[in-house]
Amino acid sequence: MQLPKLSEEQLRNISTPLNLQRAENYVGKFIDCSVEGSLLKGTIKGNHGAYVTTLQIDSDPVRFSCECTNAKEVFCKHAAALGLTYIYTPWVFASNRKLERQHIKTFDDIKFYIKTTTLKSLLDDVRGKNISSSQVAELAGVSIQQLSSIVKEDLNGKNHVLTDPLKIACLYLLCSQK
User: Do 128 and 82 fall within a single domain?
Assistant: no
Which range marks the domain in which residue 138 is found?
Answer: 117-176
Count the domains in the chain: 2
User: Do 152 and 84 fall within a single domain?
Assistant: no
Give residue 177's pLDDT band: very low, low, confident or very high (50, 70, 90): low
Instruction: For residue 108, tell me if it sits in a domain.
Output: no
Tell me: the pLDDT tens digits for 57-80? 988 788 999 999 888 889 999 999
> What is d(CA 150, CA 146) in angstroms, rounded to the nearest whole number?
6
Instruction: For residue 49, tell me if it sits in a domain.
Output: yes
User: Do 85 and 14 fall within a single domain?
Assistant: yes
Q: What is the pTM of this model?
A: 0.64
Tell me: the pLDDT tens digits for 46-59? 778 899 999 999 88
Instruction: Summarize the confidence of residues 10-38 as an average pLDDT.
Output: 88
The radius of gyration computed from the CA coordinates of the chain, to the nearest angstrom, equals: 19
- 3-state secondary structure (DSSP) of residue 36: strand
Instruction: For residue 1, tell me if it sits in a domain.
Output: no
Mean pLDDT of the chain: 88
Q: Indicate the residue among 93, 108, 137 that finishes a domain.
A: 93
User: Do 159 and 85 fall within a single domain?
Assistant: no
Tell me: the pLDDT tens digits for 93-103? 765 567 788 88
Tell me: the pLDDT tens digits for 133-162? 999 999 999 999 999 999 998 888 777 889
Instruction: For residue 109, tell me if it sits in a domain.
Output: no
- 147-153 LR contacts (CB < 8 Å, sep 24+): 150/119, 151/119, 151/120, 151/123
Instruction: For residue 23, tell me if it sits in a domain.
Output: yes
Instruction: For residue 3, tell me if it sits in a domain.
Output: no
Q: Indicate the residue among 61, 93, 125 that finishes a domain.
A: 93
> What is d(CA 100, CA 103) in angstroms, rounded to the nearest whole number?
5
Per the DSSP assignment, residues forming a β-bridge with 50 are: 45
Q: Which pLDDT score is estimated for 90?
A: 80
Task: Evaluate whether 134 touches 146 at the Cβ level (below 8 Å).
Answer: no
Instruction: For residue 14, tell me if it sits in a domain.
Output: yes
Instruction: For residue 26, tell me if it sits in a domain.
Output: yes
The proportion of the chain whose per-residue pLDDT surpasses 90, expressed as a percent, equals 48
